[in-house]
Amino acid sequence: MSVSILQRQSTAMRRIHPSPSVAIVGATGAVGAELIGCLERRNFPLSRLKLLASPRSAGRTLTFQGRDVVIDGLTPMSFDGVDVALFAAGSGVSKDHARRAAADGTIVIDNSSAFRMDDDVPLVVPEVNADTLGTHHNLIANPNCTAAISVMALWPLYRENKIRRVIAATYQAASGAGAAAMEELRASTEAHLTGRAYEPRVLPHPYAFNIFSHNDTVDLESGENGEEIKAARELRKLMCAPDLRVGITCVRVPVFRAHTIAMTVEFERPLSPDQAREILGAAPGVDIVDDRNANRFPMPRDATGRDNVLVGRFRADKSDPTGHSLALMVAGDQLLKGAALNAVQIAEALMK
């Protein structure tokens, strides 16, 4: 039964029950698995966990806190009695079910791109803009992984010294395209090393020992792909910086998980590498990896399985003689801060 418009408006400041019933939509996918793991590791105080997936997965079980939980097939009635639903099943599923569930009283935290740029839906990274949760109407969007990881480095700097422009290149792991892409990387690498042919099935180009432009759809007029468009728009919304200039090139690399981003950032005032290191060293959710002597900087290998985002390789941009521009590198686990962890942190923020 749907609530009225007046009732939906009254949910704007609603917080989560201290011991909520939680559902995961897309529980069998890569992000779904990480959502289960995050809830368990962080001792999220749920009263019941409901796992939802496509009908073909119904009846299977997954383990949570040492016990088997049966997966149910997703239907419009799946959210009855559910306080919080964590969606990780793609934009099509979210468009079919998320707003209906929200209207019926479930707080939905959606990992897809379906609602991120909707004016009535807050797009949230808790370390950056948790204050916008006060405007939610039972529907909250989790950002694109590139935007979520990038903003962890950009926001603390922006607060101290307004950013005018960001130029970035991403090195994105298979995890960003889901479990099937991760398996394709494994299988194609094994085939390559043993001299066997392998025809790509998930991604458009051979993945082993190769890099290629991100596989999202390319806008024929601008030449930008969907990942680049999403990351730029979402950074502006997250930072409440509509005039922020962002130029980004997104590339898929043969890494299982954790994205790396090289960026050059232009500030309103000069900013030294030491100042940036000090600012980010005090930022929540950030670890500094910046050892020039050992030539050790943020790497996906080190970021994999880690909650915090790694930031380092601070250096002045010598192409800008004014001293306003700084280069740095960022690495973060796409399945954690870029997806599941951030969603769970949003739910935690709503309980405070």
Tens-place pLDDT, residues 220-273: 999 999 999 999 999 999 999 999 999 999 999 999 999 999 999 999 999 999
Residues 80 and 172 in one domain: no
Alpha-carbon distance 155 to 138, whole Å?
A: 26
Residues 159 and 307 in one domain: yes
Strand order in the sheet with 84-87: 61-64, 67-73, 48-53, 21-25, 84-87, 107-110, 139-141
For 65, the token pair is 């806190």
For residue 214, indicate whether it is catalytic.
no
**Catalytic residue, candidates 38, 97, 137, 145:** 145
Are 60 and 86 a contacting pair, CB within 8 Å? no
Res. 288 pLDDT band, cuts 50 70 90: very high
Give the per-residue pLDDT at 15: 73
Residues 202 and 58 in one domain: no
Q: Is residue 317 part of a domain?
A: yes
- Number of structural domains in the chain: 2
Q: Is residue 328 part of a domain?
A: yes
Predicted TM-score (pTM) of this structure: 0.93
Residues 174 and 273 in one domain: yes
For 200, the token pair is 């790509």
Q: Could you report the per-residue pLDDT of 152-188, keeping only the tens digit for each?
A: 999 999 999 999 999 999 999 999 999 899 999 999 9
Residues 271 and 161 in one domain: yes
Residues 231 and 293 in one domain: yes
In the chain, which residue ranges form alpha helices assigned H by DSSP? Answer: 5-10, 30-41, 91-103, 126-129, 145-160, 179-193, 226-238, 273-281, 300-303, 341-349
For residue 39, give its domain range. Answer: 5-114
User: DSSP character for 336?
Assistant: I
**Catalytic residue, candidates 97, 136, 214, 259:** 259
Residue percentage of the chain with pLDDT more than 70: 96
What CA–CA distances, in Å, run from 155 to 64, 158, 162, 285?
34, 5, 9, 12
For residue 259, indicate whether it is catalytic.
yes
Are 197 and 319 a contacting pair, CB within 8 Å? no
